[in-house]
Amino acid sequence: MTEFAFIEELSDDAHEEKNQRKQEFPLMPEGEAFDMGTDESGKPLIDPRIFDAPEFFRNPYPYYRILRDHYPVFHDKLHNTFWVTRYEDITECYFDDEGFNTIPKGSSSGVLGNTQLELSGVEHRRRRNLYGQHLVGKALNNRIPAIEHLADEIIDGWTNLKEKDSPFVKDENGRRTIELGQVFANEFPIRVVCEVLGFPKESQSQFYYWYNSMMSGLGGSDTHKMGVEARQDLEDYVSEIVEKRREKPTYLYDNDGNPISKDIISKLCETKVDGDFLSSEEITSNIALVVGGGGETTRGAIMNMWALLLRHPDQFSEVLKHEENWDKAFHETLRHSSSIGGQPRHNSFDIEMHGVKIPAGSLMQMVDFSANHDDRIFKDPEKFNIFREDLYSGKLLRSGYAKEGKCSHMAFGVGPHLCPGAWISHQEAVVGSKIMSKRMKNPKIREDLMPKDIDGKKPAPMGIISVRDLWLEFDL
């Protein structure tokens, strides 16, 4: 029997097939895979229904290990997908953006608009450079005071909040308990992006609403209408601002009120492509992509980093002692529990990888989660260790980093589509966390309020989905 046999053997009877597909897998102890049998040679089998099962969402890594070791390219006929799980193979595919295209044209355009996510090659480079340059290097350093200022403002808001004013704040025995997502991490990344793009402060909560609606609109047909409407509202709003900034650009200021540089919208307004100014529609799509790309991802990174550090108190105390360790903690968090699982690609030509024939135009899922846990690259990958020697946690290189026994993690992708917001999200998470760590004395997770695993005692494993709610207590 091959790994696909039971899918092919499914009865013709539609009802039975439906039940078969609903196969429930038992929840396994963290780190252990459910035994799905072996073939004649003793190779473990994989039932692709596992990828939809709750067990997989809470405990994916043992299954990725089976895939990497036995099926580095797994043809999943149930989902009509080829899963690619080894670090080196994924890196190679990401770098070859002519051979492996990004998502199909138009797939997100109803909501985000026509964005660079759908482009490859020269077309992609041109579009990406329009604003990517404003998010890195000197331009980014200029934005750090604005990020610090925003973090301070939000943290002031909840440290001064009274228990009666919020369901996410509780005071007991001289200790305050907060839910980190509600009071900080959900909104902070969106507000930072609005600030660096150059939107007026008053529009930030409206932006948060548009962001949430557009993100839900990408998720499925129920919420698609809401996403499209939010996109239209955003476009109306941006068009007005664009008209004004074309005439009179606006600036970003440092903490002393000195202008640093024009904001990104003002810069986009004066950008020309092939002699023509960008249209409001094009500017809106760029903005929607930057806001969309930077919200949930950075939220997840902040939440996961705090959860992991507080569950490894020895490492947390090293971070408090030496502030530069926050950079290491950020990168190790993204390697250990990234907020994005992977990216789809479509191969432009017929190819064969690891003996698997992949016809041109197939859907190939590059599993970044798995690359980050590939023990061909990272020793003891399931261990969270901010001091690991095999992870490069310095300045991110566009080409990805693999030298002298160190590799960069895959959470930002590598190659031409490498996340242009990588540095800014790094700054957000690190700057925000440094400020929070000074305000929250002796912080601990309120495990009694956190979701539990199957035994009803241990905390639920982090799995595929970033920590949703993180209840922390600290000295008042």
Residues that bind ligand HEM (CB under 6 A): 102, 116-117, 128, 135, 193, 289-290, 293-294, 297-298, 301, 338-340, 343, 411-413, 417, 419-421, 424-425
Residue nearer to ligand HEM on the CB measure, 242 or 290: 290
Burial class (CB in 10 A: 0-12, 13-18, 19+), 101: buried
Torsion sign across C-alpha atoms 409, 411, 412, 413: positive
Q: Which helix (H) or strand (E) holds 327?
A: helix 325-336
Q: Work out how close the CB of 420 gets to ligand HEM at its nearest, in angstroms, rounded to a whole number.
A: 5
Identify residue 117 by its one-letter amino acid code.
L
Q: If you ran DSSP here, which 8-state letter would residue 245 be given?
A: H
Residue nearer to ligand HEM on the CB measure, 116 or 280: 116
Q: Work out how close the CB of 399 gets to ligand HEM at its nearest, in angstroms, rounded to a whole number.
A: 14
Residue nearer to ligand HEM on the CB measure, 53 or 377: 377
* CA–CA distance, 82 with 89 (Å, rounded to integer): 13
Nearest to 197 by CA among 110, 119, 284: 284
* CA–CA distance, 158 with 167 (Å, rounded to integer): 12
* CA–CA distance, 408 with 146 (Å, rounded to integer): 28
Residue nearer to ligand HEM on the CB measure, 48 or 420: 420
Q: Is 369:378 a contact under the CB 8 Å cutoff?
A: no
Tokens in use for 64? Answer: 């990725």
* CA–CA distance, 87 with 378 (Å, rounded to integer): 10
Residue nearer to ligand HEM on the CB measure, 36 or 260: 260
Q: Beta strand pairing status for 81-84 and 73-76?
A: antiparallel
Residue nearer to ligand HEM on the CB measure, 49 or 417: 417
Q: Which residues, other chains included, contact 211 with Cβ-Cβ below 8 Å and sequence gap of 6+?
A: 190, 291, 292, 295
Residue nearer to ligand HEM on the CB measure, 84 or 289: 289
Q: Work out how close the CB of 165 gets to ligand HEM at its nearest, in angstroms, rounded to a whole number.
A: 30
3-state secondary structure 4-48: CHHHHCCCCCHHHHHHHHCCCCCCCCCCCCCCCCECCCCCECCCH
Q: Work out how close the CB of 102 gets to ligand HEM at its nearest, in angstroms, rounded to a whole number.
A: 5
Tokens in use for 380? Answer: 């003891």
Number of neighbours of residue 50 by Cβ within 10 angstroms? 18
Q: Work out how close the CB of 260 gets to ligand HEM at its nearest, in angstroms, rounded to a whole number.
A: 17
Q: Work out how close the CB of 35 gets to ligand HEM at its nearest, in angstroms, rounded to a whole number.
A: 32
Residue nearer to ligand HEM on the CB measure, 386 or 424: 424
Residue nearer to ligand HEM on the CB measure, 282 or 473: 282
